[in-house]
Every structure is written in structure tokens, then in C-alpha cells.
């Protein structure tokens, strides 16, 4: 299922999946190899964390991220000699 996530939605998803797995914040943190404070912050929507740490938490919960990178058209102008 593809969903556009903002900080609040990601926080709710992590909390939901953690509870669904029957894990406490401390258990999730230990499984992910991160501190409990990081899990607490993510679940509160404070997602200003190292990306690798966030990915570790998501992996434990089997949440996969797929990124779509969109470049502004005006930044992709061709050079004069390109076809």
C-alpha cells in the first residue's frame, strides 16, 4: 500500500505497528539498536533523527519506504549541445 506520509502520519503508523507487534517502546528500541528516546520522539512526530536510525526502527516494524524524487523542470534544462 502506498501512502504519502507527513510527520504526523509516520508517527501514527510507527505507534500502530509497534502496538500491533505487542512491543513496548523500549523493546522496539532494543530490537532496532537505538535509544528509547528516539522511538518516543518518532512516535510524537519529532522525526529530526538520523535517517539510518529511523530506517532501523522501520525495518523492525516491517515498514518499507519508497521515495519518489521529483526535480523541478527549470533545473533540468539541456545544455546547448545536448539533444
Q: How many CA atoms lie within 13 A of 56 on its CB side?
A: 16
User: Which pLDDT score is estimated for 81?
Assistant: 65
Q: Set out the domains of the chain in order of their start, with CATH numbers.
A: 7-60 (1.10.260.40)
pLDDT of 16 strictly over 70: yes
User: Which pLDDT score is estimated for 79?
Assistant: 58
Tens digits of per-residue pLDDT, 41-73?
Answer: 999 998 788 989 999 999 999 998 887 777 776
Q: Give residues with Cβ within 8 angstroms of 2, minimum separation 6.
A: 66
pLDDT of 4 strictly over 70: no
User: Which pLDDT score is estimated for 46?
Assistant: 86
Amino acid at each position: 500500500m502506498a501512502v504519502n506520509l507527513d510527520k504526523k502520519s509516520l508517527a501514527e503508523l510507527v505507534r500502530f505497528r509497534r502496538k500491533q507487534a505487542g512491543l513496548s517502546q523500549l523493546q522496539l528500541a532494543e530490537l532496532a539498536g537505538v535509544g528509547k528516546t528516539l522511538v518516543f520522539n518518532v512516535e510524537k512526530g519529532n522525526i529530526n533523527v538520523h535517517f539510518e536510525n529511523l530506517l532501523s526502527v522501520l525495518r523492525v516494524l516491517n515498514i518499507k519506504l519508497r521515495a519518489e524524487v521529483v526535480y523541478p523542470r527549470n533545473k533540468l534544462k539541456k545544455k546547448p549541445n545536448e539533444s
